[in-house]
Amino acid sequence: MKVGLLKDIKDGEFRTIMTPNEAAELVSLGAEVYVETGAGEGASFEDADYVKAGAKIAKDMKEIYSTCDFVTKVKELEECEFDLLREGQIIFTCLHPAASKDEVDVLLKSKVIAFTAEDTHRYGSPNCEIAGKLGLLKGAEHLLRTNGGSGQLICGAGGAPAANILIIGAGLAGTGALQLAYGLGANITVMDINVKILRDLIERYPGINTMISNSANIKALMPNLDIIVNCVKWPKHRKDHLVTREMLSMMKKGSVIVDVSADVGGAIETYHHTTHENPTFVVDGIVHYGVDNIPGAASKTTSIAYAASVIEHFKSIVQNGVKEACRLNGYLRRSMTSYMGVLTHEETSAIQGREWVTPEEILGLEEGTYSIAPKATSTSSKPTTCKK
């Protein structure tokens, strides 16, 4: 199998999904690995490093798409890639398909076999952990007066109190933010809907406050908050918000909201996407940090962790083919977005009102013969019968 690594071209994206170490692993399995020139530079991996690993350097994305059976990168497809997709080609990247109608149209029209990487993680994506940690650091940075904030130092000082931090959601991103905030000496409240998780956090981080996550509890805290870090992945079918624009008037001017989940129309009503070059905007005196690829700022660390988390999927596809790899691993199977012109992604079906077929049916897998993984989201849609 010919495996191609693309250079990510999204503005402000420096990560790669495959370091030279993973390239070497695939080469050892008999795969031909092609790397677009400069694909690893943003994460401090040079073309020469990939050549030493046994890969071949391709001059551009067109060569990757025309040569390779399996094409991968970090972020969603850009419009300039749409016409390069080939029938039967395997695509593995963070497609975010439910929010990308045009992209899904192209995946179906081109009849590729597409996997959305964010749904493949058994233990959560390392991108989430790093996004939570960096999100907290960016919140502390923009709380400084020189960056548009109130001038509050997150750790305080002798005679001056530390910042009051609210972390909403205690998953992988939320606990990442908590680790940094705790180490920096902030006054911390963590909210979640799972009381057991909150009890466990109290034991691990003595002195923090915990509350059940809802708008009423958030409102009660808002007048004294300096930073809100949202780590809740808001269901895309919901039209309500945890923090509304009206609620911003309750916060102190110069306070900061960081939406790690980067959901437009999600938990934070006033959120919209920004870039690393222009990361913040102000609404009603509240600084919003809106970068939607926060982990890209720590591109080397993130790339090493991220590549290690997906390489087993790559190896299985190379060794076993798509059908068997999906049979053996439910987390890979649940991430299948499209298969030869058929939508196979439930959340996308529900959000976009499209018919879909389960990956199990499209692959012809018999019940009881394949591994099981939990659903990636709570969004549901009734599947249709395969018309192959």
pLDDT at 386: 67
Least Cα distance to 67 among 55, 75, 76 occurs for 55
Distance, C-alpha 200 to centroid of its chain: 25
| pLDDT at residue number 238 | 82
pLDDT at 65: 98
Query: How many Å separate Cα 129 from the centre of its chain?
Result: 10
Output DSSP code: residue 361: H
Tell me the pLDDT band of 316, cut-offs 50, 70 and 90. Answer: very high
Is 259 assigned a catalytic role? no
Confidence band for 387, pLDDT divided at 50, 70 and 90: low
Q: Nearest to residue 96, comparing CAs of 75, 125, 120? A: 75
Question: What SS3 state is found at 233?
Answer: coil
Helices (H) and strands (E) in the chain, counts: 12, 15
Sign of the dihedral defined by the CA atoms of residues 368, 370, 375, 381, in that order: negative
Q: Which residue has the higher pLDDT, 385 or 81?
A: 81
338: alpha, beta or left, given left = phi > 0 and alpha = psi -120 to 50? beta
Each residue of 270-289: pLDDT tens digit?
Answer: 999 999 999 999 999 999 99
Is 8 in the active site? Answer: no
Query: Does residue 279 sit in helix, strand or coil?
Result: coil
Q: 113-116 and 336-339 as β-strands: parallel, antiparallel, unpaired?
A: antiparallel
Say yes or no to pLDDT of 166 above 80: yes
H/E stretch holding 141: helix 126-142
Band (pLDDT 50/70/90 cuts) for residue 257 is very high
Q: How far is CA 287 from CA 128, 132, 145, 278, in A?
A: 22, 18, 11, 12
- Please report how many Cα atoms fall inside a 13 Å half-sphere around the Cα of residue 335, on the Cβ side: 25
Percent above pLDDT 70 for the chain: 99
Residue 210 in contact with residue 198, Cβ under 8 Å?
A: yes
Mean pLDDT of 236-257: 93
Q: Grade residue 264 by pLDDT with cuts at 50, 70 and 90.
A: confident
Region for 45 from its dihedrals, namely left if φ exceeds 0, alpha if ψ lies in -120 to 50, beta otherwise: beta
Q: Which helix (H) or strand (E) holds 140?
A: helix 126-142
Contact between 242 and 266 (Cβ < 8 Å): no
The pair of structure tokens assigned to 221 is 């805290």
3-state SS, residue 1 = coil
Q: b/e map of 5-28 (b: 16 or more CB within 10 Å)?
A: bbbbebebbbbbbbbbebbbbbbe
3-state secondary structure of 283: strand
Among candidate residues 8, 96, 142, 241, the one labeled active-site is 96
Higher pLDDT, 237 or 205: 205
> What are the beta bridge partners of residue 317?
none
Catalytic residue among 8, 119, 263, 292: 263
3-state SS string for 54-98: CCEEECCHHHHHHHCCEEECCCCCCHHHHHHCCCCCEEEECCCHH
Q: Angle at the Cα of 56 (from 54 to 60), degrees rounded to 5?
A: 150
Closest CA to 147 of 14, 258, 242, 12: 258
